[in-house]
Amino acid sequence: MHVKHLRTPDVVIGADTIVSVDEQILEKPVDKQDAYRMLSRLNGKEHSVFTGVAIVHCSSKDNQLETEVTDFYEETKVKFSDLSEELLWEYIHSGEPMDKAGGYGIQALGGMLVEYVHGDFLNVVGFPLNHFCKKLAELYYPPSKHNVQHKKYDSIPSVDTFENLSDGENDSSNFTEHKGASKLDSSGMCSSEAIYNSENSSSVRTGFMVPLENQNGVSESAPKLPSKILDLMDGFRASKALFVASKLKIFDNLKDKGPLKAVDIANEIGASVCGTERLLDACAALGLLEKTPQGYSNTDSANAYLTSDGEYSLHGYIIHSNDHLWPLFTNLESAVKEGSRQNHRAFGKKADDLFKDYYHSQEVKQRFMAAMHSIAHLTARDVATAFDLSRFKSACDLGGCTGALAHELVQIYPNLKVTVFDLPEVIANTSYFQPSGQHMAPVTFASGDFFKDNLPEADLYILSRVLHDWPDEKIHVLLSRISAVCKPGCGILLAEMVLDDEKKNRSTVLLQSLNMLVQTEGKERSGSEYRGLLEQHGFTNVKIRLTGNLLDVILCAKI
């Protein structure tokens, strides 16, 4: 038996192990930096994709097994879009790329990478399914010409489909729309790949949801599904399902266990079986859980991010989102009309600032600190390494809360001494969040009000997610106080979501902007706004790094 080797494709984006670009192989798991470098090289260029299939024919003659291999090649050309750095990062951080072994992950969000495909779209998304079916059909059931339909739909190049090659047992109502595969066209509508529900079926079908001709030969053009809009309309249900599953500790209950049945989970969490089962099914559909005939289990992501003790647990932020942000967002309409925060409407009281709201009860304070800690822990490495900070000997993290960033800084810069400065209510509560381990370098905590009290001496003042809480007037007070104690050459490091000047950032950033509206007197600001604020207080050489993570970083120095 022989199988010909196919020409190495220009680009292979395989599962999560190997990436090759122009035959140069990066033999390590694809991390975000690699993915970024690789995608930047594809940017705006056309590449050839050669896909092939080998079909093995087996027959037995005189008790000898004979095999014969037929193989086929097909070339498809893919032109990648010329994307901004921001969009590339958005794509990489969407969690969608690189999930198709041997192919480009260009479905769904991956569609934004691609300007055009010349040839068969299905060749580019992993196994060349369409090509394979065509060749199988040619070999075993040569189709009469009218059986092959040549279909074209929006931005996706035409695809030959095999509508009439089924074994007759299946009916076309088995086509299900695959939402994740939708791609926005310029009108904001979506073209949708259809996948065949092959349960109980021996045949394979592939195709796209396209207007089919009816029996009179008249094209019945069904309205396009505005999938993006439908997804957004579903968004609040999806968020709430995640929040409630977290609150009921479903992910905690499933951690380190084999699959569990709905009835067992319902018993564990003290909830109804019918309600629990629906919630579990919704979580499985959202990709948060795996569902098999044996029951439900956590996905790897659920273990890492959704359990309360996961390595990068977002549990604290999810509970804060459910208990605090959800009631605030319910009043978004009033916030937009009035242009101000809505704490009084959501919680029935009007405090001077949002921190008085958070710290009036131990429970709310603990919840808020856990929320801050989860995001700080997830972003700390990118914030700490965005610039080389090794020249600084001491740093003071103003409003440093639980010390998550401080701990990362002392790991990366062993000669750096970091003091976390925050309100007394916070500092009194930090012990719960300290990392365990004897070899942890010490971080010092100091309490005070940065608008009134003496600031600790330091070479570098850090303000992570602090300035966005305040209006310009308060920021001027804070920056002038820092400037007064900052010696020449010392600096300020800001960690914030930085808006671009046209305010056309990815949606996470702009939704965060609404988040600030409903709960603070502050706002997210652009790089030039931060530069302007800093320069007014004698800070120059303002450098901005977009990390692609949830926080960007700005460094400046005092003259």
Ligand X SMILES: C[S@@+](CC[C@H](N)C(=O)[O-])C[C@H]1O[C@@H](n2cnc3c(N)ncnc32)[C@H](O)[C@@H]1O
Give the per-residue contact string, 51-80, with ligand X (x = CB under 6 A; - = no): ------------------------------
Rounded to whole angstroms, how far apart are CA atoms 492 and 31?
Answer: 30
Place of tokens 């909830």: 271
Smallest gap from Cβ 554 to ligand X, in A, equals: 14
Question: In this complex, which beta carbon is closest to ligand X, that of residue 338 or of residue 449?
Answer: 449
Question: In this complex, which beta carbon is closest to ligand X, that of residue 78 or of residue 466?
Answer: 466
By CB under 6 A, residue 450 contacts ligand X: yes
* Token output for 433: 């969040």
By CB under 6 A, residue 469 contacts ligand X: yes
The per-residue b/e assignment along 198-233, b for 16 or more CB within 10 angstroms, e otherwise, is eeeeeebbbbbbbeeeeeeeeeeeeebbbbeeeeee
Closest residue by beta carbon to ligand X: 399
Smallest gap from Cβ 381 to ligand X, in A, equals: 14
- From the list 370, 423, 455, 493, which residue makes contact with ligand X (rule: CB under 6 A)? 423
Of the candidate spans 126-134, 150-158, 446-454, 500-508, the one that interacts with ligand X by CB under 6 A turns out to be: 446-454
Please report which helix (H) or strand (E) contains residue 152, including its range.
strand 149-153
Question: In this complex, which beta carbon is closest to ligand X, that of residue 43 or of residue 385?
Answer: 385
By CB under 6 A, residue 418 contacts ligand X: no
Question: In this complex, which beta carbon is closest to ligand X, that of residue 254 or of residue 466?
Answer: 466
Smallest gap from Cβ 369 to ligand X, in A, equals: 7
Identity of the residue numbered 89: W
Quick one: angle between helices 273-285 and 262-269, nearest 10?
Answer: 110
Burial degree of 244 (CB within 10 A; 0-12, 13-18, 19+):
middle
By CB under 6 A, residue 449 contacts ligand X: yes
By CB under 6 A, residue 376 contacts ligand X: yes
Smallest gap from Cβ 481 to ligand X, in A, equals: 11
Smallest gap from Cβ 244 to ligand X, in A, equals: 25
Rounded to whole angstroms, how far apart are CA atoms 37 and 521?
Answer: 39
Place of tokens 């670009």: 21
Of the candidate spans 87-95, 97-105, 209-217, 420-428, the one that interacts with ligand X by CB under 6 A turns out to be: 420-428
* Token output for 556: 């400046």
Question: In this complex, which beta carbon is closest to ligand X, that of residue 120 or of residue 469?
Answer: 469
Residues 6 or more apart in contact with residue 391 via CB below 8 angstroms: none
- From the list 116, 141, 236, 451, which residue makes contact with ligand X (rule: CB under 6 A)? 451
Smallest gap from Cβ 408 to ligand X, in A, equals: 11
Give the per-residue contact string, 310-349, with ligand X (x = CB under 6 A; - = no): ----------------------------------------
Residue 16 annotated to the active site: yes
CA angle 349-350-352, nearest 5°? 140
Of the candidate spans 71-79, 283-291, 299-307, 444-452, the one that interacts with ligand X by CB under 6 A turns out to be: 444-452
Question: In this complex, which beta carbon is closest to ligand X, that of residue 376 or of residue 410?
Answer: 376
Report CA dihedral (298, 300, 301, 304) to the nearest 10 degrees: 100
Q: List C-alpha distances in Å: 425 to 359, 362, 369, 399.
A: 7, 9, 11, 12
Q: Note every long-range contact of 411-419, with CB atoms under 8 Å and residues 24 or more positions apart, other chains counting.
A: 411/441, 412/381, 412/384, 412/385, 413/384, 413/389, 414/441, 415/390, 416/389, 416/390, 416/392, 417/393, 417/444, 418/394, 418/443, 418/444, 419/394, 419/395, 419/443, 419/444, 419/445, 419/446, 419/456, 419/458
By CB under 6 A, residue 466 contacts ligand X: yes
Smallest gap from Cβ 102 to ligand X, in A, equals: 41
Question: In this complex, which beta carbon is closest to ligand X, that of residue 248 or of residue 426?
Answer: 426
By CB under 6 A, residue 516 contacts ligand X: no
Place of tokens 């009035």: 338
Smallest gap from Cβ 100 to ligand X, in A, equals: 36
Of the candidate spans 39-47, 149-157, 286-294, 447-455, the one that interacts with ligand X by CB under 6 A turns out to be: 447-455
Paired strand residues for 149: 161
Question: In this complex, which beta carbon is closest to ligand X, that of residue 376 or of residue 386?
Answer: 376
By CB under 6 A, residue 305 contacts ligand X: no
* Residue 288 contacts residue 343 (beta carbons within 8 Å): no
- From the list 10, 90, 382, 422, which residue makes contact with ligand X (rule: CB under 6 A)? 422
Subset of residues 93 to 132 that bind ligand X, contact rule: CB under 6 A: none
By CB under 6 A, residue 355 contacts ligand X: yes
Strands 289-292 and 460-464: unpaired
Rounded to whole angstroms, how far apart are CA atoms 295 and 292?
Answer: 5
Residue 166: which of 210, 130, 206, 194 has the closest Cα?
A: 206
Smallest gap from Cβ 466 to ligand X, in A, equals: 5
By CB under 6 A, residue 465 contacts ligand X: yes
Smallest gap from Cβ 90 to ligand X, in A, equals: 22
3-state secondary structure of 273: helix
Subset of residues 386 to 405 that bind ligand X, contact rule: CB under 6 A: 399-401
Spot the catalytic one: 10, 16, 231, 352: 16
Identity of the residue numbered 220: E
Which residues are catalytically annotated? 16
Q: Which residues bind ligand X (CB under 6 A)?
A: 355, 372, 376, 399-401, 422-423, 426, 449-451, 464-466, 469
